[in-house]
Amino acid sequence: MVRWSFARRALALLQLFYNPVDSYLDNKTGEVIIPGASSYNGLNLVPQMGWDNWNAFQCNVNESLLLNTARAMVDYGLRDLGYNYIVLDDCWSIGRNSTGYLVANPEKFPSGMKHVADTLHSMGMKFGMYSSAGVYTCGKYPGSLGYEQKDADLWASWDVDYLKYDNCYNQGQSGNAMLSFNRYDVMSKALNKTGRPILYSLCNWGDDNPFDWAYTISNSWRMSGDVYDSFNRPDSRCPCTETPCAWPGYHCSIMNILNKMTPITSRSQPGAFNDMDMLEVGNGGQSDSEYVVHFSMWAINSSPLLIGTNVLTLSPANLAIYSNPAVLALNQDPSGSAAVRKWQYFVNPDETGEGEIALWTRSMDNGDQVFALLNAGNLSMMMNTTLYDIFLDDATAGAYQAPPELSESWDVYDLWANRMSDEEAGSIINGTAPTIGANSNSTTRYNATATSYADGLMNNNTALYGSKVGTIGPGSQSRFSAMIDRHSAGLYRIRQASSTMRKRDEL
Ligand SMILES: *[C@@H]1O[C@H](CO)[C@@H](O)[C@H](O)[C@H]1NC(C)=O
Ligand SMILES: *[C@@H]1O[C@H](CO)[C@@H](O)[C@H](O)[C@H]1NC(C)=O
Ligand SMILES: *[C@@H]1O[C@H](CO)[C@@H](O)[C@H](O)[C@H]1NC(C)=O
Ligand SMILES: *[C@@H]1O[C@H](CO)[C@@H](O)[C@H](O)[C@H]1NC(C)=O
Ligand SMILES: *[C@@H]1O[C@H](CO)[C@@H](O)[C@H](O)[C@H]1NC(C)=O
Ligand SMILES: *[C@@H]1O[C@H](CO)[C@@H](O)[C@H](O)[C@H]1NC(C)=O
Ligand SMILES: *[C@@H]1O[C@H](CO)[C@@H](O)[C@H](O)[C@H]1NC(C)=O
Ligand SMILES: *[C@@H]1O[C@H](CO)[C@@H](O)[C@H](O)[C@H]1NC(C)=O
Ligand SMILES: *[C@@H]1O[C@H](CO)[C@@H](O)[C@H](O)[C@H]1NC(C)=O
Ligand SMILES: *[C@@H]1O[C@H](CO)[C@@H](O)[C@H](O)[C@H]1NC(C)=O
């Protein structure tokens, strides 16, 4: 009797843990696909895009800021480029009521959160909410630790679509992966239990190496301390220059965060991304070319792209950066992969960190490759890459023989060549630009609501491919060179040249 009941319990346990899934072989890539394995809740197969108020407004939030920003994003074509989450950050509540539910600040949100969500949804936008996996939020408002299900239920009742979940005041429940995992998992399960699809974005600053564990319970995780609007100024509040990092801190520069990505880029996958933090483009702390580097390197690394500036006062130049469809198509590539830094040299080293140049590359879903020539040094220079550099990983994988890509020719497309002019961006801002439809042949603008990036890429939409600037290959030492200004990056997509493909057909 005892034995029988023990066996039954063992069987029940087995059934609990053994969930058979129908895996299959993807005939195109040769990979074994486990359905559902790429996203714990089916959401965010490409990185989320939107706006978050923190970088520009901190705690100065209210209903009209969110709704006016959303309207401007629709009018400026940003929604139709994919920026569709409006994320409200810290400082929105006044406490909990007697039954333990959070109460929104009625002065800041006089019509209530449900009204904000409904209005955003009517505009084709989605609503993001903020809290902390601690007893307080970072701004010392009530946090969600111990109240996870109540808070998740409340947000779901408001029709919230997204949660940014911070790490302040966590009561010491951190310091190893298990403590952090368990704390963040409670909210993951609570969100799931609501039955509403809610994108779950961890904001735990890279603490306890979330890239090792967060993909099973969330859709993105911050991999560094908070960004600030500086290209490369070291700041003692952000002490680490490498991953893993014991003390994430904050005030991390663009180059600091980028270089911390290098060992962990392979942890990005469809449904679960390394989050390099919100964009600073437009906030005034960097030059135009530095913002282009920031935007390009976040895009190539599959970081979520959350506009972090005041959209209502956006300049034409900054709108042009946020709106480059060729760069957005790179970020939104169905591969959901990230980039690899193939090399880094210090050409003019000094203790301020000036002088770094680097080559980053990434494989695209359709067989294209993208590469960035990054000059973070202080002098313009001619930068070079060879086909060997670009296909290095194929050359060293297993067979140690030259990959077939080296015997082909590749057309090189400059992804910033068709950046829209300030004139054109200005006409979007003042409402005189034409709308963009599904069959648009614009080289500067794109409408991802009308045609997804995946479809546009498949159909060779001109706005998604930049402009052809050369051909490279065949031959491993075949070289592409470009003059790259100081604190600038060249961003290129290479596509197998059609002449090579004809040759292969003739063989
Ligand atoms: C892969 O090929 C096999 C055999 O040709 C076929 O039965 C299967 O349906 C294909 N799978 C997919 C996902 O296309
Ligand atoms: C809402 O917030 C914005 C940004 O902080 C501020 O400029 C505006 O005056 C506020 N509006 C109201 C009604 O409080
Ligand atoms: C507390 O807030 C919840 C959610 O808004 C609400 O349903 C409940 O009635 C409130 N309780 C009290 C006592 O006000
Ligand atoms: C909850 O989790 C299950 C199992 O992972 C998943 O299939 C389902 O889509 C999730 N539901 C929501 C609303 O996230
Ligand atoms: C970098 O170049 C700028 C001008 O282009 C100059 O003002 C600055 O002193 C240089 N910085 C270093 C560290 O060389
Ligand atoms: C790129 O190649 C040119 C021509 O060979 C050379 O002058 C230049 O130094 C190279 N640039 C770098 C950064 O190695
Ligand atoms: C709108 O902006 C464009 C570009 O700056 C300018 O040429 C045009 O005159 C403006 N139109 C109006 C009505 O302001
Ligand atoms: C994009 O296309 C949709 C229809 O699919 C349309 O409603 C929207 O106005 C277009 N956006 C722009 C910026 O033209
Ligand atoms: C783009 O489309 C417009 C209107 O459909 C047409 O007049 C123009 O010739 C096209 N331009 C190109 C480069 O195909
Ligand atoms: C897109 O361009 C590629 C490369 O030039 C070519 O192989 C493919 O056939 C084109 N696709 C379409 C739909 O035109």
CATH number of the domain enclosing 177:
3.20.20.70
**By C-alpha distance, which of 156, 196, 203 is closest to 304?**
203
Q: Catalytic residue among 89, 151, 208, 226, which?
A: 226
User: Between 354 and 173, whose confidence is greater?
Assistant: 173
* Ligand 4 center to 40 CA (angstroms): 7
Instruction: Write down the pLDDT at residue 403.
Output: 84
Distance, in Å, from the CA atom of 54 to the CA atom of 219, rounded to the nearest integer, reads 20
Residues 279 and 415 grouped into a single domain: no
Residues 77 and 225 grouped into a single domain: yes
Instruction: Write down the pLDDT at residue 109.
Output: 98
Output b/e per residue, 175-186; b: 16+ Cβ within 10 A. Answer: eeeeebbebbbb
Residues 346 and 285 grouped into a single domain: no
Q: Catalytic residue among 52, 166, 208, 229, which?
A: 166
Helix (H, G, I), strand (E, B) or coil at 504: helix
Instruction: Among 40, 192, 201, say which to mutate for ligand 4: greatest number of ligand atoms within 8 Å of CB.
Output: 192
> In this structure, what are the phi and psi dihedrals at residue 269, rounded to the nearest 5 degrees?
-155, 160
The pTM for the full model equals 0.91
Structure confidence by residue, pLDDT tens digits, 272-287: 999 999 999 999 999 9
User: How many other C-beta atoms can be found within 10 angstroms of the C-beta atom of residue 389?
Assistant: 18
Residue 112 within a domain:
yes
Residue 383 within a domain:
yes
Residues 320 and 391 grouped into a single domain: no
Residues 332 and 446 grouped into a single domain: no
Structure confidence by residue, pLDDT tens digits, 289-338: 999 999 999 999 999 999 999 999 999 999 999 999 999 999 999 999 98
Residues 100 and 220 grouped into a single domain: yes
Residues 368 and 477 grouped into a single domain: yes
Ligand 10 lining (C-beta closer than 6 Å)? 459-460, 495, 498
* Ligand 2 center to 62 CA (angstroms): 6
| Residue showing tokens 């969930």 | 19
Instruction: Write down the pLDDT at residue 499.
Output: 58
User: How many other C-beta atoms can be found within 10 angstroms of the C-beta atom of residue 3?
Assistant: 7
Residues 103 and 232 grouped into a single domain: yes
Q: Final residue of a domain: which of 283, 301, 336?
A: 336
* Ligand 7 center to 316 CA (angstroms): 11
Instruction: Write down the pLDDT at residue 348.
Output: 72
Q: Write the CATH number for 362.
A: 2.60.40.1180
Domain boundaries, position 75: 49-336
Residue 405 within a domain:
yes
Residues 195 and 268 grouped into a single domain: yes
Tokens of 374: 């990054």
* Ligand 9 center to 411 CA (angstroms): 24
Structure confidence by residue, pLDDT tens digits, 349-401: 665 546 899 999 999 999 999 999 999 998 899 999 999 999 988 776 665 67
Distance, in Å, from the CA atom of 504 to the CA atom of 507, rounded to the nearest integer, reads 5
Residue 4 within a domain:
no
Tokens of 167: 């790490």
**By C-alpha distance, which of 345, 371, 405 is closest to 490?**
371
Q: Final residue of a domain: which of 336, 371, 397?
A: 336
Beta bridge partners of 33: 24
Q: Mean pLDDT over residues 68-74, rounded? A: 98
Instruction: Among 381, 384, 480, 484, say which to mutate for ligand 6: greatest number of ligand atoms within 8 Å of CB.
Output: 384
User: What are the distances in angstroms from CA 481 to CA 229, 343, 356, 379, 484?
Assistant: 30, 15, 17, 16, 9
Structure confidence by residue, pLDDT tens digits, 438-487: 988 999 999 999 999 999 999 999 999 999 999 999 999 999 999 999 99
Residue 41 within a domain:
no
Kindly report the three-state secondary structure assignment for every residue of 426-462. Answer: HHHHCCCCCCCCCCCCCCCCCCCCCCCHHHHHHCCCH
How many domains does the structure of the chain reveal?
2
Ligand 8 lining (C-beta closer than 6 Å)? 77, 80, 435-436, 447, 449-450
Ligand 4 lining (C-beta closer than 6 Å)? 41-42, 192, 195-197
Q: Mean pLDDT over residues 128-136, rounded? A: 98
Instruction: Among 74, 323, 449, 451, say which to mutate for ligand 8: greatest number of ligand atoms within 8 Å of CB.
Output: 449
Nearest CA to ligand 5 atom 13: 354
- Give the number of the atom of ligand 1 that is nearest the alpha carbon of residue 24: 13
Nearest CA to ligand 7 atom 8: 427
DSSP string, 7-63: HHHHHHHHHHH------EE-TTT-PEE-TTTT-SSS--SS--EEEESHHHHTT---H
Residues 287 and 425 grouped into a single domain: no
Residues 302 and 447 grouped into a single domain: no
Q: How far, in whole angstroms, is CA 304 from its chain's centroid? A: 2
Nearest CA to ligand 5 atom 8: 378
User: How many other C-beta atoms can be found within 10 angstroms of the C-beta atom of residue 242?
Assistant: 10
Instruction: Write down the pLDDT at residue 355.
Output: 80
Q: Final residue of a domain: which of 277, 306, 336?
A: 336
Residues 270 and 381 grouped into a single domain: no
Distance, in Å, from the CA atom of 502 to the CA atom of 360, rounded to the nearest integer, reads 29
Residue 29 within a domain:
no
Residue 38 within a domain:
no
Ligand 7 touching residue 366 (CB < 6 A): no
Residue 15 within a domain:
no
Helix (H, G, I), strand (E, B) or coil at 225: coil
User: How many other C-beta atoms can be found within 10 angstroms of the C-beta atom of residue 383?
Assistant: 21
Is residue 118 annotated as a catalytic residue, yes or no? Answer: no
Nearest CA to ligand 2 atom 7: 65
**By C-alpha distance, which of 327, 352, 382, 323 is closest to 255?**
352
* Ligand 5 center to 378 CA (angstroms): 6
Distance, in Å, from the CA atom of 258 to the CA atom of 241, rounded to the nearest integer, reads 10
Is residue 235 annotated as a catalytic residue, yes or no? Answer: no
